[in-house]
Amino acid sequence: MSDNNLHQLLQQQTILTQQIRNAANKDEKNKLTNECKKIKNQIRNIEPKKIPIALETQKQMYKCVQCECEYCVSGKNRVQIVYCKSCRKLRQADILEYITKDSLKIYSESDAGTILLLLIRLKSDLRLDLHNTLDTIPINIQLPIKNACCISYVGCLTETRIKAREEIMERIHSGQIQFGFLVFRRGTDKKNNINTFTEIGSKAWVNEGLNHNPNNIVDMTTPLFIDDSEDHVASVGQINGVCTLQIHPGENLLDLINNNI
């Protein structure tokens, strides 16, 4: 199986882990735990030799991407933690990274008001997920919407965060997108036992605050958001003023965009 399939399973595992933490009752938690176990077994079956089970408990040394101090983590982590213990405490408070051609800014929840002012000033009529969406086309391919951006949900402490940041920067430099966001939050409506994913720092929260240009060259009246994950599409679909689409395996992103603008 491809790295994309493995990445999808790892994303599902991350989502289920968060849902388990936010489970409204014991029955729901048990159900989600069983689903998570199935995903873990699928991951082991895809690449059983990538991290041998016998070596999972071994410790490995890494250099922190922030302070460059060496730190030790268990070998069982399938997605590498890239921060030392001290830096993890700082990065766990992050809710959003704003990436431009020349700068990178990281915000915590206390900066929510500042982020909203930023989003109002920015304009994007095409908002794309990164993994299994924007990364399905080469970096040098130009999109039909000039003020496109990327909104990607990643783990706040993992190697995936760093790689996603680097790829978004490359796509900005190529002129494919104008800017990008990494978001680290999701949400659950425990009272009604449904996933809403609209808390501060989520994809829906960014989409709701992000401005758009109603008079662009293709006469779009509402911005378009495309993601491969059903739950993200559903969450953004709960807010007003954004059209949402799910891209499925094998679908052509450019065709999907052109057929819906």
Q: Give the domain-ending residue among 40, 70, 89.
A: 89
Helix, strand or coil for residue 116? helix
* Same-domain status, 83 and 159: no
- Whether residues 72 and 146 share a domain: the answer is no
Query: In the numeric block, which tokens belong to residue 80?
Result: 């590498």
Q: For 177-198, how does the pLDDT look when each residue is reduced to its tens digit (9 = 90+)?
A: 999 999 998 866 656 656 667 7
φ, ψ at 205 (rounded to 5°):
-65, -45
Q: Do 94 and 108 meet the contact criterion of CB atoms below 8 Å apart?
A: yes
pLDDT for position 64: 92
Specify whether 18 is located in the same domain as 135.
no
Same domain for 96 and 186? yes
- The three-state secondary structure class of 4 is helix
Tokens 């970096």 correspond to 139
All residue ranges of the chain with pLDDT < 70 are 1-4, 47-59, 74-78, 187-196, 214-220
- Domain tally for the chain? 3
Q: Which residue has the tokens 């909203």?
A: 116
Its domain, for residue 43, covers: 1-50
Please check whether residues 10 and 38 belong to one and the same domain: yes
106 lies in the same domain as 228: yes
For residue 186, the model assigns a pLDDT of 81
68 in the same domain as 195: no
| 178 in the same domain as 134 | yes
Tokens of 18: 């968060």
Asked whether residue 126 falls in the same domain as residue 208, the answer is: yes
User: Within a 13 Å sphere around the CA of 33, how many CA atoms are in the beta-carbon half?
Assistant: 8
What digits encode the pLDDT tens for the residues 216-239? 555 567 899 999 998 899 999 988
100 and 225 assigned to the same domain: yes
At which of 68, 89, 110 does a domain end?
89
What's the maximum distance between 2 C-alpha atoms anywhere in the chain? 59
Same domain? For 65 and 119 the reply is no
**pLDDT digits over 159-169, tens only?**
999 999 999 99
Q: What are 251's two structure tokens?
A: 């679908």
* pLDDT given at position 1: 42
Do 144 and 239 belong to one domain?
A: yes
HSE, CB side, 13 Å, CA atoms: give it for residue 166: 5
10 vs 78: CA distance, rounded Å: 8
Q: Decide if 81 contacts 73 (C-beta within 8 A).
A: yes
Amino acid 170: pLDDT: 97
Q: What single letter denotes the amino acid at residue 199?
A: E
User: In the prediction, which pLDDT does 115 show?
Assistant: 96
Q: Nearest to residue 151, comparing CAs of 73, 192, 196, 209?
A: 209
For residue 136, give both structure tokens.
């399905």
Burial class (CB in 10 A: 0-12, 13-18, 19+), 120: exposed
Query: What six digits make up the tokens of 86?
Result: 């001290």
